[in-house]
A and B are shown apart, each in its own frame.
Chain A
Amino acid sequence: MAPDSKESIEAQPLTPAAMVALLALIGVVLLFVAIVFVYVGGWLSPHRLTQDRMMQAFQELDGAHPGFRRNHAKGMCVSGWFDSSGAAASLSKAAVLKAGERSAVIGRFALAGGMPFQADAPGQVRSMALRFLPAGGGGEWRTAINNIPVFPVNTAQGFYEQLLAARPDPSTGKPDPAAMKAFLVHHPETVRAGALINARVVSSGFADSTFNSLDTFRFVNAAGVSTPVRWAMEPLRPVVTEAAAQAARTDKNYLFDDLIAQIRQQPLKWRLMITVGRPDDPTNDATRPWPVARQRIDAGTLTLDAVSSEDGSGGACLWISYDPMVLPAGIEASDDPILSARSAAYARSLTLRAEEKSQKAPSAVTPQEVRALLAGGKP
């Protein structure tokens, strides 16, 4: 288009009809942009699984507990360090895995579920969450791991539907068995994973539990080679199976109280075991175990020598979000869709509980209880 012809058009005065039409056009363009924005923001998609809906499902299942984590709500802080053996350094360039590297660790033990005052019970899923800060600098690593062999679901949608299926019926106050049955019909992977989870050996407490990453990650070494991995923290102390007598204990915090008493006696240790995947191992499905024959690497030793309540001055873990996507260079996400979902959910959970900070009730394991047990007394 020659500039001159354009200018001669522009010089024409607009008729009122043309002006109205152009104003309407501008209106339509702006409306279109606004609608796209609103659509991307999820407001026009009542069925899209958003962070809001995930948080809402937790609340419908477990009730509102302002200031607490939306999941793994009952917990206690620990701290210590991690000494890397260097045995995994050929697979990952992460500073935390370098030979001889010592990382400071702030951790949290917890029970799964959004109920901050649930009574400890043997079947309840136990968790260990760790934040590693390598002494020599380099990337920080966070991981949150569970004492089950596989995860019950393999997508965020599955997780959400499971929460909804387990939520109490308002009329009876109990979950509707038909809802769970319907969920399981559509999720055969959950049935298969459930069989493995139920068959696991439940140990006597946190200190002799093995905690698994469940999700798959990728180690990337200095040459850029990427290897699928899963990891586990395996206790150095011998595993004692949960005795029937212990399961009947009336102390509502017996798992946490035992842990405090054990740390008082001696630092507790775990080995970080890396399972090296093969190209055909499932990386995007946390319900499926890997073959037992896979190579395993002892990447170093975790030592936890201090424990404190989430509340009070020692509660360094309370405001840490153990987002599994906080990874150093050398450790990356796999194509497991649960990882992205966790990152989104943990950030939102942190936002909500930070907003509710002033309303938070004291945590189940109080500073007084920890102090009494560390002094050798009873809770």
Chain B
Amino acid sequence: MTERQPRPSQRQPQFPAISRLLHWLMALMVLSMLFIGIGMAATESPRYHVLISIHRPLGISVLAVVIIRIVNRLLNPPPPLPAGLPGWQRVAAEGSHYLLYALMLILPLVGWCMLSAMPYPVVFAGSWHLPAILPPNPTVYAWLRQTHTVLALLLFLTFLVHFGAALLHGLVLRDGVLQSMASFGRSRRQRA
């Protein structure tokens, strides 16, 4: 293990502040969406209405923010992973990040399509409605509804792996990967 402990001078460069901000904003939004979604689909109580009334606008906001985030990523590419990282971990890290991006983009789109096919009005807030993006169709709705559940569960599992990997980097490997996203102290980029 000893040889993997980086010297402070070789620390991971950090993600740019805007990328960190977007990451943590979206982490909060997406985790809320997962718990709100799974909770509202399992209750006949007054919470159902409260939760779905948050789920729709928050989910549409996830769609908007993830688009901004993808553009930001093209403008501000992420820092490279630590040089000593084995190849399979590199693939796993990048693969899971692409999967997270894909799910954050597709899941809200499936939600919007689903309401369109039901057909239910796509209420953003009050009288602010979004247009239907699919014609009404029960077969398409049934398929989308199941897809929404499956993708949400996949997102949750991917998040668990992601979270576990972040903790592993932060607590066990201590290679600066967690700090590259998590630390809001002095930027280490200049020191790298």
Contacts and interface: CB of A to CB of B under 8 A. Distances in A.
B is a partner of A:
yes
Interface of A: 3, 7, 10-14, 19, 22-23, 25-26, 29-30, 33-34, 36-37, 40-42, 48-52, 54, 138-140, 156-157, 160, 319-321, 323, 325-326, 328-329, 333, 335, 337, 339-341, 343-345, 350-351, 353-355, 357
Nearest to B117: A354
17 contacts: A10-B5, A22-B171, A26-B171, A26-B172, A49-B45, A50-B42, A50-B44, A319-B136, A323-B120, A329-B126, A337-B45, A339-B49, A340-B46, A341-B46, A343-B52, A345-B44, A353-B138
A23 B163 CA distance: 13
A30 B164 contact: yes
A274 B37 CA distance: 35
A274 B176 CA distance: 65
Nearest to B167: A26
B179 to A, nearest CB: 9
B1 A13 contact: yes
B163 A33 contact: yes
A51 B44 contact: yes
Interface in B112-163: 118-121, 126-127, 129, 136, 138-139, 141-142, 145-146, 156, 160, 163
B127 A138 contact: yes
5 closest Cβ contacts across the A-B interface?
Answer: A42-B42, A329-B127, A340-B49, A354-B138, A354-B142
Interface string B36-62: 001111111111111010000000000
Interface residues of B, number: 46
A22 B138 CA distance: 50
Contacts of B38: 37, 40-41
Contact of B41 (A41, A320, A341, A343): A41
B174 interface: yes
A43 B121 CA distance: 30
B190 interface: no
B44 A344 contact: yes
B49 A325 contact: yes
A326 B172 contact: no
B35 interface: yes
Nearest to A358: B139
A333 B123 CA distance: 15
Given A14-B172, A337-B45, A30 B118 contact: no
A326 B121 contact: yes
Contacts of B185: 3
Contacts of A26: 164, 167-168, 171-172
A319 B136 CA distance: 9
Nearest to A157: B44
